Structure 1
Amino acid sequence: MMGPVLAACLLIILSTAWISQANGATCKKDGGVCTCNDQTKNVDCSGKMLTAIPSNIPVDTDRLVLQGNKLSSLPHTAFHGMKELTYLGLEGNRLQTLPPGVFDHLVTLETLGLSNNQLKPLPRGVFDKLTKITYLDLYENKLQSLPHGVFDKLTNLKELWLRNNQLRRVPEGAFNFLEKLTRLQLEENPWDCSCNDILYLRDWINDNKDKVTGAQDAACGDQQSKAVLEITEEEAAEDCVYPNTTTAIPTTIITTLASSNDDDIPELPVPQENFQKFLGYQEPDHLPTQPQCLMSISGYLGLMMSLVLTSAAILYVIHFLKKA
């Protein structure tokens, strides 16, 4: 009867190996692309030309470095379960948007690096769960506006970097809850100093000059000719309304559509590439690199080998059970 017992043990071992192979590997020691340190709980996946976050990152990871890759989007569950993460580096990727809730599980996060991406809109409440965060880096993006209350929950924030974006204004009270803030970068943004809502930013800078890096460098317009700090009420007299740049439709189009019958609306040719962009479709920006291809091939070969051996073990068990 030892034959079936040994076969059963072999089946368990092979099944475990097959499950592990099917789930993939993250760390180099297991055939993955990232460098992992079990003692410090650090996972370094920087500069690997990744277009997706590796699977099976340990949930007890303390520091996760993903900078210098080709990530253009993040699944909303990308960091779910990582409740011990204190550092997340996403700098130098191709991120254009952040899905709502993507950071909601990072309740211990202290540092978040998002610089050198292509971020335009920020979802409302995207940082609300990061109540422990002390450093938030958003410079070198394409931010055109900030949602109302986007920083209100970040009461422990000490450093906020917003320089070199496309910001024209900040919402009224944007920095009012940042009581522990010690450094704020605002320069290299085309601040709109003709609208009266710039007066909040002017007054805040004036009251917190010691916190704003280069307070005089936060200047008006694309020409950066005059500091926000120097704007007067007369110069900022307009009551401007800024549309939501992600969903706004010109009022002339709305009026035309509202006053027209369906039969009167001309059929406009839409270039295929523009239609795909409207639907959110994106072509892959590059083919997998050679190491990634080799890893994928070896993974599939390992999976097939595990399946073959598992099948053989099952047949072996059945054979001995029939004999018994």
Structure 2
Amino acid sequence: MMGPVLAACLLIILSTAWISQANGATCKKDGGVCTCNDQTKNVDCSSKGLTAIPSNIPVDTTQLRLHQNSLSKLSPTAFHGLKELTYLDLDGNKLQTLPAGIFKELKNLETLWVTDNKLQALPVGVFDHLVSLDKLVLSQNQLRSLPRGVFDSLTKLTYLTLSQNQLRRVPEGAFDKLQNIKDLRLTNNPWDCTCNDILYMAKWLKKKQDEGLGGVDTAGCEEGGKAVLEITEEEAAEDCVYPNTTTAIPTTIITTLASSNDDDIPELPVPQENFQKFLGYQEPDHLPTQPQCLMSISGYLGLMMSLVLTSAAILYVIHFLKKA
């Protein structure tokens, strides 16, 4: 009667293997693309050409490196479940924004790198849950503005860099909650020192310089090169008027098109990006990369092999049961 028992054990083992294959793999040791260190809880997925974050990152991961990939969009739940993360590196990707709620469960995160991307804007409250954050690096992006209260929850932050962006001002009170800030980098932004919106930043930087905060004197005005903290109310006397960045078709063009025959309608160049937005088109959040495709093929072959072996085990059990 040992035959059926062995066959049953084989069936259990194969079923477990099949479930593992179905769940996919992240770490190289399991057939994935990332290097995982069980001792340090470090997962390194850098420089893999990824267009989506690998699934099934171990939930006890404390350090996750995703730099130098091709990530252009992230799912709002990309890091949900990774509550032990203390270090996250997204440098050198193609991110244009960060979804609202993406850092919702990262209350233990201490370091966040998002430098050298294409960030143009940040959603309101995107950093609100990062209550343990000590270092935030947002340099080398295309940020044109910051939402009000964007840093309000970062009371433990000691290092912040916004260098090499397109910032002309910061919202009133933007830095007020940064009680423990020790180093603030603001260089290489086109700060508008003719507009009175700059006065909050100028006064705050002057005060912090007197308190010994590093890096504050590197913020220079777009015109003249004068340090922002030296700007006076007389110099920044103008009311702030910034162009509307929304895309709209002028009324004159609409009237002309409405009164014209089809043959007379001029061909207007419409940027593909705006046209896609007009149609409500969105890129999928997860596009498979070449390594992920190979993983999928490997998983498929493994699944087929598991099914074949499972069928053989079942027939083996039936055969012995009949003989018994």
State the TM bucket, normalised to the shorter chain.
0.7 to 0.9
Aligned equivalents of 1:244, 1:134: Cα separation in 2: 35
Aligned equivalents of 2:320, 2:266: Cα separation in 1: 73
* Matched-pair contact (CA < 8 Å) for 2:184–2:216: no
Corresponding residue for 1:132?
Answer: 132
* Matched-pair contact (CA < 8 Å) for 1:136–1:160: yes
CA gap 1:150/1:225 in 2 versus in 1, 3 angstroms: same
Structure 1 segment 25-174 matched on structure 2, within 5 A:
25-174=25-174
What SS does the corresponding residue of 1:238 show, helix, strand or coil?
coil
| TM-aligned CA deviation for residue 3 of structure 1 | 3.7
| TM-aligned CA deviation for residue 200 of structure 1 | 0.3
CA gap 1:18/1:183 in 2 versus in 1, 3 angstroms: same
Corresponding residue for 2:272?
Answer: 273
Consecutive unaligned residues of structure 2, counting only runs of 5 or more, are none
| TM-aligned CA deviation for residue 299 of structure 1 | 2.6
Aligned equivalents of 2:138, 2:29: Cα separation in 1: 33
1:215-240 residue CA offsets vs partner (Å, 9 max, x unmatched): 1x31222x563321232223322222
Aligned equivalents of 2:220, 2:168: Cα separation in 1: 10
CA gap 1:4/1:42 in 2 versus in 1, 3 angstroms: same
What amino acid is the match of 2:80?
H
Structure 1 segment 241-256 matched on structure 2, within 5 A:
241-242=241-242, 245=245, 248-249=246-247, 253=250
Aligned equivalents of 2:16, 2:268: Cα separation in 1: 56
* Matched-pair contact (CA < 8 Å) for 2:195–2:236: yes
1:55-102 residue CA offsets vs partner (Å, 9 max, x unmatched): 111101111111111111111111111111111111111111111110
What amino acid is the match of 1:44?
D
% identical equivalent positions: 65
Aligned equivalents of 1:61, 1:130: Cα separation in 2: 17
Moved more, 128-137 or 187-196: 187-196
What SS does the corresponding residue of 2:80 show, helix, strand or coil?
coil
Pair 1:218-2:214 in alignment: no
What SS does the corresponding residue of 1:36 show, helix, strand or coil?
strand
Aligned equivalents of 2:137, 2:229: Cα separation in 1: 23
* Matched-pair contact (CA < 8 Å) for 1:41–1:62: yes
Aligned equivalents of 2:98, 2:214: Cα separation in 1: 26
CA gap 1:243/1:300 in 2 versus in 1, 3 angstroms: farther
* Matched-pair contact (CA < 8 Å) for 2:52–2:289: no
What SS does the corresponding residue of 1:208 show, helix, strand or coil?
helix
| TM-aligned CA deviation for residue 203 of structure 1 | 0.4
Aligned equivalents of 2:321, 2:121: Cα separation in 1: 64
* Matched-pair contact (CA < 8 Å) for 2:71–2:94: yes
Corresponding residue for 1:206?
Answer: 206
What SS does the corresponding residue of 1:160 show, helix, strand or coil?
strand
Higher relative contact order (CA 8 A, sep 6+): 2
CA gap 1:311/1:272 in 2 versus in 1, 3 angstroms: farther
* Matched-pair contact (CA < 8 Å) for 2:193–2:231: yes
What SS does the corresponding residue of 2:112 show, helix, strand or coil?
strand
Corresponding residue for 2:306?
Answer: 306
Consecutive unaligned residues of structure 1, counting only runs of 5 or more, are none
